Amino acid sequence: MKKPSNLQRLLGYAGNHRYLTYASWVLSAVSALLALTPYWYIWQVIREVLAVAPDFSQAQNLVRNGWMAVLFAVIAVLVYIAALMCSHMGAFRIATNLRLAAMEHIVKLPLGAAERFGSGRLRKIVNESSAATETYLAHQLPDRAGAIATPCGLLVLLFLFDWRLGLLSLAPVLLAFLIMLMMTGARMRQKMTEYQNALDDMSNEAVEYVRGIPVVKTFGQTIFSFKKFKNSIDRYQVWVIAYTKELRLPMMLYTAAVNGVFVFLIAGAILLTQNGVTAEFLLNLMFYIIITPIISVTLTRIMFQSENAMIVDDALQRIDSVLALQPLTETTRPRHPADASVELSHIHFSYDGANEVLKDITLTIPAGQRVAFVGPSGGGKTTLANIISRFFDPQKGSVKIGGVDVRDIPKGELMNTVSFVFQNSRLIKASILDNVRLGRPDATREEVLNALHNAQCGDILEKLPQGLDTVIGTKGVYLSGGEQQRIAIARVMLKDAPILILDEATASLDVENETLIQTALSRLIRNKTVLVIAHRMRTVAGADKIVVLDGGVVAEQGTPGKLMENNGTYARMVKLQTESQDWTLA
């Protein structure tokens, strides 16, 4: 089956607005032909002037021909404006629908997949790639129709008066066209892809760098501490300089050729007038000198249209890279969990399809039990929690909640069954009320306030100018990391899901905020199945069971007391942390 062209794909997003896009092409072509008409009247003016010279009083049609030239120029502009109005309406509709399609697909993706893709890269693809199609449809396609109509009209004019001068006018055009093909072929498309890749890398790394600015300022570091960001800038610099040097010679030759039409005309005129100059030849030469600049303008426009077509092709490929990400499968026969138990059976998982992060994990967590995942960094703790929350689906094995495979639980119900408190919870730019209501949109103000007080957020509300209705992120209203974490816990309290996953919820907090959050968490975990990811061994001492993950496998599991008796990985980690806590300045 033949793959649809980029234009066909874009028009598929236009709906009824596609007819406006078609109309813009027709109007642009008509405008281009009308724009050539004034040159005919200018030729009439020059002819009459030469015919009556030096007695210009005998000229009868100068004013009429001059006004006709102005009239057709104005009509051409008005028709072109109408073409752009049609094209913009169609382009805006297509770009909007393209963004909506991309965002609708993104919200169906597993959260882990979107996170691994990169927030900066996703933002750039959704915004800038769709914007590239907008420019292409609103300006480039109507201009292409005009650029096709203009040479057709020019060919008639060039050969209408003197075919010899017409051929001379076309010689530099052919030369420039050949040079242009060198710059707009398959190699250029490859270079355009490399260029967009470099921009994507910089955008993604810039987002990560901005997120890490507090660390940079805290430790007095420079940009060189973020090697990935600096390396992305260096790669872009090297690529741009090399590419610019590569195109320098062909661009110089193209510019010289496309603007060298006067050289051909003057040289040809000298050869053609060796036996004397006639008034008719002089008239035609003057006309060609006036009209031939249109050729260079038209050819340059075509060249940039070719470049923009490649930009659109690359933009659609990037949007396809997002649309190609597989959303989570939705069951056609939904089942409902019987309780809040969690069962993992022979779980295997790999991010890249080659290196397994989790290897044959089998665990059973009864409802209401508190289980802690501990172990060295990179052992698979967060990945395992993500799989339980169905941020990812395992390549092998199954995850069951309440005896039901998570793939058979409707997505909405699963989200209401599992809550997640991250290490660095994020708030949106909205009121505290709306931020907390994300946990349960139909909650009343009283229920939100109750959740906030249970999460130890009373002091936050007291200091804010509009209390619960204060919009975070505007007019200097910002919260500390600990305050944001407490509001995020209030959101989870309001949701009141039976399974709770805590991923280093108290890490990197000051003592005061950690104490408040521990108090809030002690209320939050009542009567829930709790899975805790922690590096501080003292925070998991009260767990019913501890699971030690190391290298993607369960190294050991059991009660804290039993694991201390085994003198294995857990006992070694407790010993190391105890020694570090006893460390003092000498």
Which is it for strands 356-365 and 499-503: parallel, antiparallel or unpaired? unpaired
Tens of pLDDT, residues 362-414: 999 899 888 888 888 788 888 888 888 888 888 899 999 999 998 888 888 88
Joined tokens for residue 18: 């596609």
Per-residue pLDDT tens over the stretch 482-530:
788 888 888 888 888 888 888 876 655 566 767 777 777 777 788 888 8
305: how many CB neighbours lie within 10 A of its CB?
A: 18
- Better-predicted residue by pLDDT, 519 or 441: 441
CA dihedral angle for residue 409, residue 413, residue 415, residue 419, rounded to 10 degrees: -110
Contact 22, 64 (CB under 8 A): no
Degrees (nearest 5) of the Cα angle 259, 265, 271?
Answer: 150
- Given a cut of 80, whether residue 264 has pLDDT beyond it is no
Centre a 10 Å sphere on the Cβ of residue 465 and count the other Cβ atoms it contains: 10
Q: 337 or 314: which carries more pLDDT confidence? A: 337
Give the residue with greater pLDDT, 120 vs 468: 468
Query: Is residue 531 scored above 70 in pLDDT?
Result: yes
| CA–CA separation, 325 and 398 (whole Å) | 21
Contact between residue 154 and residue 294 where contact means Cβ atoms under 8 Å apart = yes
| Global pTM value | 0.60
Residue range 416-429: average pLDDT? Answer: 79
**CA neighbor of 394 nearest in space, from 463, 327, 345:** 345
162 within 8 A of 196, measured Cβ to Cβ: no
6-323 has which fold? ABC transporter transmembrane region fold (1.20.1560)
Q: Is residue 583 classed as helix, strand or coil in its secondary structure?
A: coil
pLDDT tier, 334 (very low <50, low <70, confident <90, very high otherwise)? confident
Q: What stretches of 273-359 show up as alpha helix (H) in DSSP?
A: 279-291, 293-323
Residue extents of the structural domains in the chain: 6-323, 342-370+379-525
The pLDDT score that the predictor gives to residue 188 is 65
d(CA 499, CA 262): 80
330 Cα distance to chain centroid: 26
For residue 98, pLDDT beyond 80: yes
Find the mean pLDDT for residues 453-479: 81
The pLDDT tens digits of the residues spanning 291-324 come to 777 776 776 666 666 666 667 777 777 788 778 7
Residue-wise pLDDT tens digits, 137-187: 888 788 888 878 877 777 777 677 777 777 777 777 777 777 777 666 666
Same fold, 6-323 and 342-370+379-525: no
Q: Which of 222-236, 432-446, 521-535 has the lowest mean pLDDT?
A: 222-236
Q: Which CATH number, 3.30.420.40, 3.30.2350.10, 3.40.50.300, 3.40.640.10, labels domain 342-370+379-525?
A: 3.40.50.300
User: What is the per-residue pLDDT for 485?
Assistant: 82
pLDDT of residue 586: 47
DSSP 138: I
Contacts by 571-579 with C-beta closer than 8 Å and gap 24+?
A: 573/374, 573/375, 573/537, 574/537, 577/536, 577/537, 577/538
Which amino acid is it at 555?
A: A
Label residue 26 by pLDDT band (50, 70, 90): very high
How much of the chain, in percent, has pLDDT values that exceed 70? 85
Angle at 130 between CA 127 and CA 133, to 5 degrees: 145
Q: Beta strand pairing status for 356-365 and 370-374?
A: unpaired
Instruction: Name the phi and psi angles at 570, rounded to 5.
Output: -60, -45
Strand boundaries in 56-107, DSSP class E: none
- Per-residue pLDDT averaged across 108-119, rounded? 68
* DSSP state for residue 329 in the 8-state scheme: P
The region that residue 552 occupies, defined by phi over 0 for left and psi between -120 and 50 for alpha, beta otherwise, is left
